[in-house]
Amino acid sequence: MTVMREKLIKEMTLRRFSPHTQRAYISSVAGLAQYYNKSPEKITKQMIQDYLVYLMQERQLAWSSCNAIVCALRFFYIQTLGMDSMFLSIPPRKKVAQLPEILSTEEVERLLGALKNQKHRTVLMTAYAAGLRLSEIVKLKLADIDSKRMMIRVRQGKGSKDRYTILSKRLLEQLRIYWAMYQPSEWLFNGTKSGYRMSPSTGAAIYYNAKKKAGIQKGKGIHTLRHCFATHMLEAGVDLRTIQVLMGHSSIMTTVVYLKVTRKQLCSTQSPLDLLNIPENKHSST
């Protein structure tokens, strides 16, 4: 391990960055160094800007991916190398707001029904029934399923925060069937190696496999089921504050986005055209 990498890891550890964030920052800095085949401290401001242009135009990375790399480079050059904050001179980054794609309840039924493997089906049911992130699903332990209180404990979710979410009766039934078949010991969803939890890549593959079998085109990844959980709860009449708590959102504004995609809210809104009393056009077009 190089001195620069050790120093970067030390700075991130002092700030209690999550392991995921640390890996992402290290990868971003390493990507820059590999692109120029130079040590990062020898790379100039113009070279960094050219690299970002390459990521946007040649590799066509999404804005969110470019933003994450910029954050990593800023941290490295300012906090790790102690350079002036104006060193990068990166213009303000454009933020693209995209609404999540939501599956209808009928599409969710098709998705879950497409899987015959009990373990795979239970993984997706857990994502949808409790509104969990993939990283939260793979970290679930048997002890986190509280059948007496009908709650699921989410350990160290996004932002290193614990929370509780609901345990549906139907999901509990499926979990009991799953346990009887596979008998996991510690982790709720074991990986291929004994004693290890399921990898996120496996969870993602399960979703894409089900999506393909069900013939569903919408939804980019397993996170779609978390979006469906929030949207369908909202359409069922659950208030935003409750959904915020279940989802683990720090701000209610993050939860408000589901108002923009809920069918109940949008379909109940009347177009102003429907309010007009316009005489029927009885003349045929010429």
Question: Which CATH number is 124's domain given?
Answer: 1.10.443.10
Q: Is 227 a catalytic residue?
A: no
Per-residue confidence (pLDDT) for residue 99, from 0 to 100: 81
Residue among 25, 128, 207, 258 flagged as catalytic: 258
E-strand spans in the chain?
145-146, 151-157, 161-166
In a domain, 148, yes or no: yes
Residue among 121, 133, 197, 227 flagged as catalytic: 133
* Domain match, 204 and 169 both: yes
Cα separation, 261 vs 101, in Å, equals 8
Number of domains in the chain: 2
Residue among 110, 158, 213, 263 flagged as catalytic: 158
Whether the per-residue pLDDT at 85 is higher than 80: the answer is no
In a domain, 275, yes or no: no
In a domain, 272, yes or no: no
In a domain, 202, yes or no: yes
Q: Is 258 a catalytic residue?
A: yes
Q: Is 260 a catalytic residue?
A: no
Residue 77, SS3 per DSSP: helix
* Domain match, 109 and 229 both: yes
* Domain match, 54 and 118 both: no
Per-residue confidence (pLDDT) for residue 1, from 0 to 100: 59
Q: Is 283 a catalytic residue?
A: no
Residue type, 246: L
* Domain match, 62 and 134 both: no
Average of pLDDT values for 149-171?
Answer: 89
* Domain match, 9 and 127 both: no
* Domain match, 132 and 228 both: yes
Backbone angles phi, psi at 127, to 5 degrees: -60, -45
Q: Is 249 a catalytic residue?
A: yes
Q: Residue 219: give the domain boundaries.
A: 105-267
pTM reported for the whole predicted model: 0.71
User: pLDDT confidence of 267, banded at 50, 70, 90?
Assistant: low
Residue among 120, 226, 227, 232 flagged as catalytic: 226
In a domain, 131, yes or no: yes
In a domain, 99, yes or no: no
- CB atoms under 10 Å from CB of 183, counted, come to 8
In a domain, 97, yes or no: no
Q: Is 20 a catalytic residue?
A: no
Token pair recorded at residue 95: 């933020």
* Domain match, 120 and 250 both: yes
